[in-house]
Homo-oligomer: A and B are copies of this chain.
């Protein structure tokens, strides 16, 4: 199932913003623990973890990015989220490369004094990460890779914030 995690380099944008693009597996529990411990003044931390689903017949998932666009876009999004809600901290980690069922794909965590800010910030960040950031996805089913097209649901999710 899930691959053992290896270290993922950090590119902190500012003290409380941690935005990373990882080419190797990462450990969401460890990342959340470190994030939480660094923010004892935050009353609440909301996180979203997306993982490669088991049981759909998908043998592997491959996420491709374009380096000159993907990380800058993630950092821009993180800045927007920080500007929109009163947060103590924001963590965005996204995998690229080949993954197997059970592997973490994305971890977003928002820490805030008030619960509602943390929920809204994490929700917004996920909607926009999925739809506006530069990842192209292939799935391997029955030994065959196929590219995944954009889903209408993502456009509807984005529309909620306009």
Contact = CB atoms under 8 A, between A and B. Distances in A.
The winner among A1, A43, A118, A130 for most chain B CB atoms within 10 A is A43
A100 B85 CA distance: 27
A81 interface: no
Which applies to chain A's interface (DSSP): helix, strand, loop or mixed? mixed
A49 B36 contact: yes
Interface stretch (A6-14, A26-34, A90-98, A135-143): A26-34
Given A46-B48, A119-B119, A41 B29 contact: no
A115 interface: yes
Given A29-B30, A32-B32, A40-B1, A118 B48 contact: yes
A37 B126 CA distance: 21
A69 interface: no
In the complex, which range does the number of interface residues on chain A fall in?
35 or more
Contacts of A1: 40
B51 A36 contact: yes
A150 interface: no
